[in-house]
Structure 1
Amino acid sequence: MPAKLSVNLNAVAMLRNRRDLPWPSVEALGRIALKSGASGLTVHPRPDQRHIRFSDLPVVRNLIDDEFPKAEFNIEGYPTEEFLELCAGAAPEQVTLVPDDPAQATSDHGWDFRKHQAFLTDAVARLKTMGCRVSLFADGDGDTQAVEIAKAVGADRIELYTGPYGGCFDAPERAGPFLEALGRTADAALAIGLAVNAGHDLTVENLPDLVKRIPQLAEVSIGHGLIADALEYGMAETVRRFRRACGQAI
């Protein structure tokens, strides 16, 4: 089955937040994405609310529940007490835990699973009591022991950090080693029963090779590149383009 597409709405919210105005609408663009075949919506509510605001969470939850009940809500974030309480209120189908410092502009590395094993075990257990599937952001560097720890802490999935692979956009001949390392990490995860997601700097151009190397990829979560393309092609056509890049029949 081709990888599902979850549309990350943070860049929409960031543009909205530049002015004290209600547009562009996170809800309206999320609706267009889901109407166009996206399987879900992703948000990353940071503590300073510079992108998605906490008040956006019930709006996205209600959009999915009322109009697209087969879609999934994925919330990303660092598992502070405040974040876990937000998840309890929003009841996402999936929570993706990332090791971001609050001041980071964007996620740029996976968890150090050895260092944070106990911390993650506690956070994952709490999320499981809420009925959430849990995915952990992981460096796609081929470290099979790290993947085993991710399984041991109770995660259902890992999300491969694809930043180094996506960073080869201007020199695609350099992408091969990064792609193979991602593939080895995915192979190790799948072999022990973890499903595999991926995200960061994925584009229509680099997605096909990723899904070819990892044919069992469950989901890609894409924000910046997708929203950038939507400025040129419109949200509906952009979602269709990314779905085709995932190998989905349109």
Structure 2
Amino acid sequence: MTAKLSVNVNAIAMLRNRRDLPWPSVRELGRIALAAGAYGLTVHPRPDERHVRFSDLPVLRALIDDEYPSAEFNIEGYPSEEFLALCEKNQPEQVTLVPDDPAQATSDHGWDVLANMAFLKTVVSRLKAAGMRVSLFADGDSSREQMEAAKATGADRVEFYTGPYGGCYDDPDKARQWAETLGRTAGYAREFGLGVNAGHDLTIENLPLLIKHIPDLAEVSIGHALTADALQYGMAETVRRYRRACGEAV
């Protein structure tokens, strides 16, 4: 039971953007994360560039290509024409489609795939034709019908929005209930041949229970808690700690 760790560098970029200065360096901290064994890097370039900037994408693409060619680049966001063009230009191994409004502070819900089937089919087809794996952001309590619809779009994976699960950090009973719900939804995804990723408010403490209920969890994308821990432990040690929480022998 091991999930691969992708480090979301948006929080690092947000800290950098508080000043008109080049530090902390998204590239250098991304390099440290990959050197410590992270499977990949995740970015969510929003239209206003308040977190990662569009100019960061080719820098991170080059870092992976030149120094860590076995790692993966995951770009997530709402599939506007501008976003799709960014993906086609920077060629991530995976694109995670998120139903964000540009004004949202952070992602907070998954797709209603049934209601957006025609749109998502077109987008997924375009990205897959360019050689990218596609994952759809999905609610952790999605129905079997939603998972069937996700498969029908041509997507390869779903990424469960784990915000409600992460929000139970002070309520173990509720956390267990959410873990069971996520495990059941993962069963629906598995039934239709979809891989399962997860992301949002995942921590050292709550990863083991999640992986216990989704033993075939493919990937977790973690930014906020990991960046907070890196302030205390350093990026390299934090990545190793999260890899252990993901079930790796580090």
TM category (shorter chain) comes to over 0.9
Across the aligned residues of Structure 1 and Structure 2, the Cα RMSD in angstroms comes to 0.7
Please name the residue that 1:102 is paired with: 102
1:83 and 2:83 matched? yes
Q: Deviations over 1:67-113 (max 9, x none)?
A: 00000000000000000000000000000000000000000000011
Q: Give the whole-Å Cα distance in 2 for the aligned partners of 1:2 and 1:176.
A: 19
Matches within 5 A, 1:167-206: 167-206=167-206
Aligned residue for 1:154, secondary structure, equals coil
Letter in 1 for 2:77: G
**Contact residue 38 and residue 243 of structure 1 kept, 8 A:** yes
TM-score of the two chains, using structure 1 as the length reference: 0.99
AA paired with 2:132? C
Cα distance per residue 1:168-201 (max 9 Å; x no partner): 0122221122111111110111121100000000
- Structure 2 CA distance, aligned partners of 1:245 and 1:13? 25
Q: Which residue of 1 aligns with 2:69?
A: 69
Q: Do 1:7 and 1:40's aligned partners in 2 also have CA atoms closer than 8 Å?
A: yes
TM-score by length of 2: 0.99
Q: How does 1:1-250 map to 2 (within 5 A)?
A: 2-250=2-250
Q: Distance in 1 between matches of 2:178 and 2:13?
A: 31
What's the secondary structure of 1:116's corresponding residue? helix
Taking the aligned partners of 1:239 and 1:128, their CA distance within structure 2 comes to 30
Distance 2:33 2:126 in 1: 30
| 1:103 partner SS | coil
Q: What CA distance in whole angstroms lies between the structure 2 residues aligned with 1:240 and 1:143?
A: 35
2:130, 2:11 → 1: CA distance? 28
User: What amino acid maps onto 1:91 in structure 2?
Assistant: Q
Over 3 Å off, 4+ runs:
none
Identity of aligned residues (%): 73
**1:142, CA displacement in angstroms?**
4.4
> How many matched pairs?
250
Q: Distance in 2 between matches of 1:121 and 1:202?
A: 29
Work out the CA distance in 1 between the residues paired with 2:194 and 2:33: 27
Q: Structure 1 stretches of 5 or more lacking a match?
A: none
Kindly state the Cα deviation for residue 39 of structure 1 after the two structures are TM-superposed. 0.3
